[in-house]
Amino acid sequence: MKLNIVPAKQGLFWVKQGIRTFWRQPLAFTGLFFLFMAWVSVLSMVPLIGAALALLILPAATLGLMVASEQASLGKFPMPTVLMVAFRAGQQRLKAMLVLGGLYALSFLAVMAVSVLVDGGGFAKVYLANAPITPEVVSSNDFQVAMWLATLLYVPLSMLFWHAPALVHWHGIPPLKSMFFSAIACWKNLGAFAVYFLAWAAVFVAGATVILTVSSAMGGADLTSAVLMPGALLMAAMFFTSVYFSVTDCFDLPMPGSETQA
């Protein structure tokens, strides 16, 4: 395994590759992303432990989308079973992925716990328990402070887990080491990741602007509300498609087409 240092402009390339790869197999990626969302949503509805279960499987589900991106880049049609690739990689890899998921769940819940200290749990209830979002709640100073604090704390958390599922799956690196190498890779390539996220922010803003403008002109508020959410999910699917390319540029992975490396 080799860590690569890439120029800042490479972040824009990751975005382009993600969008290009998505449109090679738009039906497959749309279906996979909605299946991914459904999987997380169903688990989150389990009483008491639902949120933790949903967080637990996120690294494995994210890996499935990475493998789907790999397959699509080779001209293949990713099947729904690709989301289960982490569960078909052998007992050792599966155990490591579940440990990684457990560490992610604990870390994320710790971030939410810190936000509870600020607003008494308002933001955490909205994020984890689907509590209703009202103008009064959103406009609350405590809610906004808790939201921005959680966002700030999530940045180092995302650096720890960004590459980790791929390193566990393709290189068999233990969870804690994979998190360490992931954070180092993100830090060493901070410029590229800054460009990457800024470019995606621009894509989301531009996409939302186009959707709002066209739908408002054609059908008013009803059409806008009906189109905006599917459009946002479509762009989110493109974003997850691009994650694979940020990983393959930062680390040397096995030859495309190989799901695991012994």
Q: Which residue has the higher pLDDT, 4 or 137?
A: 4
Cα–Cα distance for residue pair 143/209, rounded to 1 Å: 26
User: Rounded mean pLDDT of 180-190?
Assistant: 96
As a whole number of angstroms, the distance between CA 21 and CA 76 comes to: 11
pLDDT digits (tens, 9 = 90+) for 205-229: 998 888 777 766 666 666 566 667 7
Alpha-carbon distance of 153 to 114, in angstroms, equals 9
Query: How much is the mean pLDDT over the chain?
Result: 87
**Tens of pLDDT along 151-168?**
999 999 999 999 999 999
pLDDT greater at residue 41 or residue 188: 188
Reported as a single tens digit per residue, the pLDDT across 107-146 is 999 999 999 998 888 888 888 777 777 777 777 888 889 9
Q: Give the whole-angstrom CA distance, residue 251 versus residue 181.
A: 10
Taking every pair of Cα atoms in the chain, the longest distance, rounded to a whole number of angstroms, is 56
- Give the span between the Cα atoms of 103 and 245, in whole angstroms: 24
Query: Average pLDDT of 60-87?
Result: 92
**Helix intervals (H) in the chain:** 10-24, 26-44, 50-73, 91-119, 122-129, 135-139, 141-161, 164-171, 175-188, 190-250
User: DSSP letters along 74-123, please?
Assistant: TT----GGGGGGGGGS-HHHHHHHHHHHHHHHHHHHHHHHHHHHHHTTHH
Tell me the C-alpha distance between 254 and 262, whole Å: 10
pTM, whole model, 2 decimals? 0.87
Q: What is the pLDDT of residues 11-58, one digit of tens each?
A: 999 999 999 999 999 999 999 999 998 888 888 888 778 888 899 999
CA 164 from chain center: how many Å? 12
